[in-house]
Amino acid sequence: MYLRRGKWYSDFYYNGERYVKSWGAISKTVAKEKDRKFRTEVGEGKHLLKSKRVTFETLSKKYLEYAKLNKKPKSAKRNEVSMNMLMPYFKGKMLGSIHPFMLEKYKKDRKEEGKEPATINCDVVVLKNMMRKAVEWGFLSQNPLRDVKLLRIDNEQMFVLTLEEVDKLLEECQKSSQRKKARYLRDLVLFALNSGMREAEIFNSKKTDINMGARYITVTDTKNNESRNVPINDTLKETLERRMQDQTSEYIFCNSKGEKLTVLTSAFYNAVKRAGLVRIESKKGETKEIRFRFHDCRHTFGSRLGMIGTDLKTIMEIMGHKTTKMAMRYQHPMPSHKLEAVKMLDRTPSKITTMKERERKIVKISK
């Protein structure tokens, strides 16, 4: 609050927006009281600033430019896919006219089209982030979609391999037809199963990232942009030593020209098919085919850590999880592991001493 030319003014920022109001030529005491009341009302949303007349198309264009500049290419591409889905629903609308009910209707319509909750949530997150940026860029005074909830998603179907299935997959990977100078598939799968690294992280890994003496790999190009060190076990060490023999490329895994891998070849999917890594699961009366994906190598790694009793914090640090919610998935063991757990009960005495019997024994001994 300040005095200018005999008039008192309130001038402050709230949620990134500037609020200025003149109280006229009044006493300082009265002006302070009005200033206090004005600030309270602004906090309660009673003095929202008018939104600039910006259309959804204009914001979407600016947001995609922002995504290409600030996000990873894969994320920016996914934002573009979501934008194509959102456009028919919000095209031509002013930002100030977009409200939560419209987004709820979008969620409902997409769900009725048969889209998975995870897919719909991707679109919802993009729109919410767009509106958040609109506030930051001065197009809106506040984000009307801030409190819109995401759809509930059942736990992700994880295909965790047994040791026998691991052997079968590696055998088929070795048999897969590959170019002579790029026979990396078996090593690639073995690497993923023993490091828990994401596909992109593996493809981006260079030989200079390996510290064989201290036995860790430094992962810098991560999903959350935070580097981490992945420990090297004996199996991973042997795999890396084989890969280091190739002097044609700076990358751990490369194509026949020594260039960084960008996509997983069909050789992997053919190996999965020949290994029979397909399961049929029933849910709510519907059957669904679950096929093993390369990302399931990461799930297998995490689950195996969980089943041998590795603590949650260690799993999070090795795999690069930011929240315990993600790592908690690996605390649920495979059915075979659960069976082995209850079989331990078969080895307990069949006769259990009751508390009263134990008390009688204690009394007898004390006498």
Residue 94 is classified by DSSP as B
CATH of domain 159-341: 1.10.443.10
- pLDDT attached to residue 12: 85
- pLDDT attached to residue 178: 72
Angle of CA points 214, 219, 223, to nearest 5°: 155
How are beta strands 228-231 and 17-24 bridged, if at all? unpaired
| Residues 206, 251 contacting (CB under 8 angstroms) | yes
**DSSP run (H or E) holding 281:** strand 278-283
Distance CA 69, CA 87 (A): 21
Tokens of 65: 């430019």
* Topology given in CATH for the domain delimited by 56-136: DNA polymerase; domain 1 (1.10.150)
DSSP collapsed to 3 states, 183-211? CCHHHHHHHHHHHCCCHHHHHHCEHHHEE
Tokens of 24: 């006229």
Distance CA 268, CA 275 (A): 11
pTM over 0.75: no
Helix (H, G, I), strand (E, B) or coil at 55: strand
| Residues 1, 8 contacting (CB under 8 angstroms) | yes
Tokens of 212: 């064989």
- pLDDT attached to residue 33: 93
- pLDDT attached to residue 80: 96
Q: Which CA distances in Å does 346 have to 308, 309, 341, 355? A: 21, 22, 10, 22
Cα-Cα-Cα-Cα dihedral sign, residues 14, 20, 23, 28: positive
Residue 154: alpha-carbon gap to chain centroid: 15
Strand-pairing partners, residue 75, are: none
pLDDT in tens, 239-265: 999 998 877 889 999 988 888 898 888
Find, among 62, 43, 78, the residue nearest to 134 by Cα.
Answer: 62
**DSSP run (H or E) holding 282:** strand 278-283
- pLDDT attached to residue 294: 95
Angle, helix 100-112 to helix 73-90, in steps of 10 degrees = 100
- pLDDT attached to residue 79: 95
Torsion of CA 44, 47, 52, 54, to 10 degrees: 30
- Interacting residues of 80 by C-beta distance below 8 A, sequence separation 6+: 64, 67
- pLDDT attached to residue 352: 43
| Residues 72, 60 contacting (CB under 8 angstroms) | no
pLDDT in tens, 317-365: 999 988 887 777 776 656 665 666 566 566 555 444 455 565 555 555 5
- pLDDT attached to residue 15: 64
Delimit the domains of the chain by residue range: 2-43, 56-136, 159-341
Distance CA 19, CA 27 (A): 21
Q: Which residues of the chain have pLDDT under 50?
A: 350-353, 366
Instruction: Count other C-beta atoms under 10 Å from residue 90's C-beta.
Output: 21
**DSSP run (H or E) holding 279:** strand 278-283
Distance CA 131, CA 159 (A): 37
